[in-house]
Structure 1
């Protein structure tokens, strides 16, 4: 079960974090993985890990905010059976403390970046008779989070785009879903704590971990496992759905 043999999977933002974990798992399960990231060093490292484990992967350096660059990369790849839109950035701030520049930056990566990938991949999937798209949303898509105004805006848009694409392209054999994680322990979290809470990293890590009722943050591998299921043939009846993976955050917090 959950094999991706003979499938080509494009994963944006796969140089680190959830994207990298997803790329490694998809490679292990037999997919030919196209690692797409703006960071050449990190992207190449992901490819090396996939190949070292016996998988097949190629790196494409690309800034998802540049529509032409995305179109060129996707056209060069050719057949694309699976697209995982994992590239994204975070931002700390309320509406009145978020600068226009920061708002635009989050929008460009998290919203336009997903749109650019959808714009490029959908004609390819239509021409080949189908495909699977998975977007990385967030619990912030449906729930207000403190000091995450721009980020929440962007992830709400990701969820809406998911539902729209699922409805518009179901007749083309294209499935589209999204995953909504709570906090995930990635290098971003470690960097954020080191920058904003020097000397108190352990204390803040415990506080953030306990905001999930399950008592810890998710691991990238756990998000990747859900991504694998939703992109596999075993999930062929699933489209137009959002899957919270949040340690009970949405339903169990009182």
Structure 2
């Protein structure tokens, strides 16, 4: 296997030459050979939204140039489209703060930007104004909110609509309930189906009620929640950019 040498604060390490990750991703691959459950694609997609929003907010604050932010944005859009799925090989078994996945995303973005002629440092540029302690929980919330709004709720609404159509199609059909192997009290088929529908619609109402809390993000808190090393108002700028994208 052809390799190239990458380095971090721990020294040099050989990385597969045909991949775009860096030293910290490689160390995680070698030190956490536990299980085979890769980080879900939904998390990587959420990180791609987050990193683009952070780059644009950093550009608004003057911490990145328009060229740097533009390169990060372009790569993030490709990641969301699934073009670079094989660049995110890490398993879910890693440090508690998700540092390795955060750095995996940072390294891949930086290397792909370099291929386009824009030199970026994974930590100093792609991870500017951020920490694994605020990016990973933010990505979890983004992934969950997107899954609820784009997958769970639409599917549940289609099922509830099918039940409602079934109710309306048989308004007068009577059936007999049974208990202890005997006929019991009668009920309309539409009444029975209405119960099925409510079993779908009630959780949907609860999910919609939970979304505002889920959409609150840790981003901007940086390492310990104080926002140290992030510009004033950075959290609001990132969230505004995320709303524009999603």
TM-score > 0.5, shorter chain as reference: no
Higher percent of residues as strand: 1
Q: TM-score, normalised by structure 2?
A: 0.30
Q: TM-score, normalised by structure 1?
A: 0.29
Higher percent of residues as helix: 2
